[in-house]
Chains A and B, each alone.
Chain A
């Protein structure tokens, strides 16, 4: 049973296709773009930090304040960008993505040493790790792709389930009490007021604040959705549970003004069988331009096939 679970997680019985290759390249590009984006956003903010309030990760072992210097922060962002771009265009050693991940960890530890730990960037970190390990540990293109996606499915599912368990442990069954949502709406509203100088309740927040039952139902649906996160592990249930999780994130944005853009975009990418859609498009000749291009330029096709 365990064997068959991992066989389906890593999609060993699936036929290789051009659609899968293009799909993987698109996913890789998405992860590279967000990695570079975070490296620069965190790097450019770092000079505003002057002290470590709460050491995170590697900052527990080294004095991370050297990263508050503009030169170090920018140099690190530049190095991460170069490593990712070289890797994406296959000018690479096997460990390049892994090095980029380690450097991004340093950038994160320096940037978010200020007391509150955000989680909206974890999925990109996990995805970069999946790609890094895929290239480091496997040789064949098919195996790299299957390992990467299997790894991402597993840890994405685990993350939502873990969040649900934390709520059960941290508060118990009363977590879904709608009054808790009232308190969070006030908290996040204060954050918006602080950030922009103004804050207006939206229709859903007003409805939740005027009805304890509705507020409770909103929390309960979100909590059940998190518990069902493990269903991401199975191919058949993945599209449905991912749709529910995306809806949950939209609900969180509406009620608590917290946006998880990278999470939602990545869920859209990994949650549905886009490779099958691409294969259908190829079958109907919609993507012939891409493949004709590689046909007339054999060297390009060779590099594409090498991944």
Chain B
């Protein structure tokens, strides 16, 4: 059994070396290996995304920034469209250049047949700690989606403008 321990230890350590090398050259992640960095950078502002049905919202109100507790329109549950909210948030927040391909990807995620005659507003939601020890969460309208077309917020050239606000 001692020979077994020696052999098992050798393989365990070999995997550990491979683990260390892979996570070192792949920014901490090479599934199933990871350095587990989740929540390691505390206090940073965050950006997520949500969707509202704005079919009945007056046009002049469509592109207004709002707080999370007074959002206009009706809530849309992404799970009902089979869309993962984390993927969706990343797609919205990490896209820097809203070219035609990226804009088209959004109705593709929802399925055009499911949008029908609805008008969906994609909102980028940003949270941060204030100096007064409170959390501020604001929703910025980014893209209006209809079954046949998408509109980028006219005041924004790209999402980076939102990040700087």
User: Chain A interface (Cβ within 8 Å of chain B)?
Assistant: 3, 6-7, 10, 12-13, 45, 48-51, 53-54, 56-57, 60, 105, 108-109, 112, 114-119, 121-126, 128-129, 133, 137-138, 143, 146-147, 150-151, 154, 159-160, 162-163, 166-167, 169-171, 174-175, 177, 179-180, 182-184, 186-187, 190-191, 193-198, 212
Contact = CB atoms under 8 A, between A and B. Distances in A.
A53 B109 contact: no
B79 interface: yes
Nearest to B48: A190
Contacts of B49: 194
A169 B30 CA distance: 20
B56 interface: no
B113 interface: no
B8 A6 contact: yes
Contacts of B37: 163, 166, 170
Interface string B1-34: 1101101110110010000000000100111111
A109 B31 CA distance: 8
Query: Size range of the interface on B?
Result: 35 or more
B78 A194 contact: yes
12 contacts: A6-B9, A45-B84, A114-B87, A115-B91, A154-B12, A162-B34, A183-B46, A184-B39, A190-B68, A194-B78, A194-B125, A197-B77
B90 interface: yes
B93 to A, nearest CB: 8
Contacts of B39: 167, 184
A100 B101 CA distance: 34
A119 B38 contact: yes
A170 B68 contact: no
Nearest to A120: B38
A175 B42 contact: yes
A162 B5 contact: no
Q: Which 3 A-B pairs have the closest CB atoms?
A: A125-B32, A115-B90, A170-B40
B109 A166 contact: no
Contacts of A114: 84, 86-87, 90-91
Contact of A137 (B7, B31, B90): B7
Contacts of B87: 48-49, 114-116
Given A115-B90, A195-B78, A183 B48 contact: no
A163 B1 contact: no
Contacts of B88: 194
B50 interface: yes
B100 to A, nearest CB: 13
B5 A6 contact: yes
B41 interface: yes
A167 B42 contact: yes
A56 B108 CA distance: 23
Interface of B: 1-2, 4-5, 7-9, 11-12, 15, 26, 29-43, 46, 48-51, 68, 75-80, 82-91, 93-95, 101-102, 105, 108-109, 125, 127-129, 133, 135, 137
Consensus secondary structure, chain A interface: helix
Given A115-B91, A197-B76, 17 more contacts: A6-B9, A10-B4, A12-B5, A48-B83, A49-B87, A50-B109, A53-B90, A57-B31, A119-B36, A126-B32, A167-B40, A171-B43, A175-B42, A177-B42, A186-B127, A190-B125, A190-B127
Contact of B4 (A119, A146, A212): A146
Contacts of A212: 133
A57 B36 CA distance: 15
Given A162-B35, A166-B37, A179-B129, A187 B48 contact: yes
A174 B129 CA distance: 15
A177 B38 CA distance: 16
B35 A48 contact: no
Nearest to A176: B42
B5 A129 contact: no
B85 A194 contact: yes
Contacts of A183: 42-43, 46, 127-129, 135
B21 to A, nearest CB: 14
